């Protein structure tokens, strides 16, 4: 099975690793960055690399795309002209109007890579909820924390495009809210029926961190990402964010995402508190088990195997099975909430 990979950065390389492990062949790689082209060519023995999707001269069975958020729309629309299944990155786009256009034009011929749903424990948590083991649900806490923007992380974010575009009002769809928060919304939709944004509790933008001297931005690269600019009509770049949501009409949910975590390098944490006890997952410590506390008892419940998104996509391309989710329709639902959060601040 032949795959064209568009965007040969960190996530593009991860897609290629996953898909080649499943026996797919990378027949082309697209990236305007020659260094990224050379690196990918070497790693995955790619017969053709180029700068534009439309220049790809051969046949493929599917296309996978991992480019910075603001380029999703342009690349996804170019890719549909090949009329092949698409493996697309989250968030779907930078605003709801674009998301709806993509939904109309791409339809069901794609999977959106909300990859936190590959955490097995998430589906065990869903099972626990369906079996009503926790009784009436009283509260939900959901967080996605990363630390790469802190001094302690010792990550060279100022020298790395992969981090720089995430802080750019031109390339990012809204900082940590779109980058990490979109995964959390997908998880909430897996676990519950309805998800409603209520209010922002705390927000911190990249600009505020710079102005308060908490981040020293001294890049040796030119400011091609317009990191320091405020661009009218674009969402701000959030780097630390907390909000209240309402789940299934009456369950309060506290929601947070951050690039400035003091505690976690990379962790998605979900805690669901019910009248009988609580269930908890922390993706940084254990992706397979749910910790369950009922009355005085404590146990770890192992999740059953799931079909990862990459395998689901391969099966979808082979027409062996229809994929369950995530569909573009779910991605639009998520975009609708992101729009409300990002454009109403």
Ligand X SMILES: NC(=O)c1ccc[n+]([C@@H]2O[C@H](COP(=O)([O-])OP(=O)(O)OC[C@H]3O[C@@H](n4cnc5c(N)ncnc54)[C@H](O)[C@@H]3O)[C@@H](O)[C@H]2O)c1
Query: Given the complex with ligand X, which of 7 and 175 has the nearer CB atom?
Result: 7
* Contact in structure between 91 and 69 (CB atoms under 8 Å): yes
Q: Which residue in this structure is represented by tokens 């926790």? A: 134
Which positions from 199 to 238 touch ligand X by CB under 6 A, shown as an x/- string?
A: ----------------------------------------
Quote the CA–CA distance of 12 and 267 in Å, as a whole number: 21
Q: Which of residues 29-68 bind ligand X (CB under 6 A)?
A: 30-33, 36, 66-68
Single out the segment in contact with ligand X by CB under 6 A; choices: 1-9, 17-25, 99-107, 263-271: 1-9
186 binds ligand X (CB under 6 A): no
Query: Least CB distance from residue 4 to ligand X, whole Å?
Result: 11
Q: Is 69 in the site for ligand X (CB under 6 A)?
A: yes
Q: Say how far apart CA 220 and CA 259 lie, in whole Å.
A: 22
CA–CA dist 125, 120 (Å, integer): 9
CB 145 within 8 A of CB 42: no
Residues 6 or more apart whose CB falls under 8 angstroms from that of 66 comprise: 5, 6, 7, 9, 11, 12, 14, 15, 89
Asked if 282 and 267 touch (Cβ cutoff 8 Å), the reply is yes
Binding residue (CB under 6 A) for ligand X from 98, 124, 143, 161: 161
Among 3, 4, 5, 6, binds ligand X (CB under 6 A): 6
Residue position matching structure tokens 């027409």: 319
* Closest distance to ligand X from the beta carbon of 345 (Å): 20
> For ligand X, what does the binding mask look like between residues 71 and 110, x meaning CB under 6 A?
x---x-------------xx--------------------
Q: Report in angstroms how near the CB of residue 159 gets to ligand X at its nearest.
A: 13
Nearer to ligand X (CB atom), residue 9 or residue 181: 9
Q: In whole angstroms, give the CA distance from residue 89 to residue 31.
A: 16
Residue number, 36 or 236, with CB nearest to ligand X: 36
Stretch that binds ligand X, among 10-18, 190-198, 217-225, 313-321 (CB under 6 A): 10-18
> Count of residues binding ligand X (CB under 6 A)?
26
In whole angstroms, the minimum distance from the beta carbon of 176 to ligand X comes to 11
**Shortest distance, CB of residue 240 to ligand X, whole angstroms?**
18
- Kindly give the residue spans of alpha helices, DSSP state H, lying in the chain: 10-21, 34-44, 72-80, 96-106, 120-130, 161-164, 176-179, 181-191, 206-211, 309-317, 328-343
Minimum gap (Å) between residue 72 Cβ and ligand X: 6
In angstroms, what is the minimal distance from the CB of 310 to ligand X? 11
CA 294 to each of CA 126, 133, 265, 291: distance values in angstroms, whole numbers, following the listed order:
16, 9, 29, 10
Count of residues for the chain? Answer: 345
Give the residues lining the site for ligand X (CB under 6 A): 6-12, 30-33, 36, 66-69, 71, 75, 89-90, 113, 115, 161-162, 165, 179
């Amino acid at each position: 099975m032949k795959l064209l990979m568009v965007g040969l950065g960190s996530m593009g390389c991860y897609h290629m690793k996953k898909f080649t492990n499943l026996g797919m062949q990378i027949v082309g790689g697209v990236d305007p960055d020659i260094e990224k082209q050379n690196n990918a060519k070497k790693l995955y023995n790619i017969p053709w690399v180029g700068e534009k999707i439309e220049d790809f001269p051969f046949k493929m069975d599917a296309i996978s795309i991992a480019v910075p958020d603001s380029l999703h729309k342009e690349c996804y629309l170019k890719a549909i002209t090949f009329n092949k299944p698409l493996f697309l990155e989250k968030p779907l786009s930078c605003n709801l109007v674009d998301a709806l256009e993509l939904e109309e034009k791409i339809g069901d011929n794609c999977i959106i890579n909300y990859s936190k749903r590959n955490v097995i424990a998430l589906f065990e948590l869903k099972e626990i909820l369906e079996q009503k083991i926790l009784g009436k649900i009283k509260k939900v806490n959901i967080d996605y924390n990363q630390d790469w923007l802190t001094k302690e992380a010792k990550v060279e974010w100022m020298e790395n495009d992969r981090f720089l575009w995430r802080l750019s009002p031109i390339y990012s769809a809204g900082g940590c809210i779109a980058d990490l928060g979109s995964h959390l919304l997908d998880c909430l939709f897996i676990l519950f029926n309805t998800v409603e944004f209520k209010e922002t509790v705390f927000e911190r933008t990249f600009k505020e961190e710079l102005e308060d001297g908490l981040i020293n931005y001294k890049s040796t690269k030119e400011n091609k990402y317009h990191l320091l600019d405020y661009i009218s009509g674009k969402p701000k770049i959030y780097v630390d964010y907390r909000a209240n949501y309402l789940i299934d009409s009456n369950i309060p949910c506290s929601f947070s995402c951050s690039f400035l975590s003091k505690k976690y390098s990379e962790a998605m944490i979900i805690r669901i508190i019910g009248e009988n006890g609580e269930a908890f997952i922390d993706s940084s410590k254990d992706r397979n088990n749910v910790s369950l506390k009922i009355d005085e008892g404590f146990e770890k419940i192992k999740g059953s195997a799931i079909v990862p998104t990459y395998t689901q996509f391969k099966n979808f391309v082979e027409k062996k099975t229809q994929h369950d989710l995530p569909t573009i329709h779910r991605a639009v639902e998520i975009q609708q909430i992101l729009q409300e959060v990002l454009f109403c601040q």
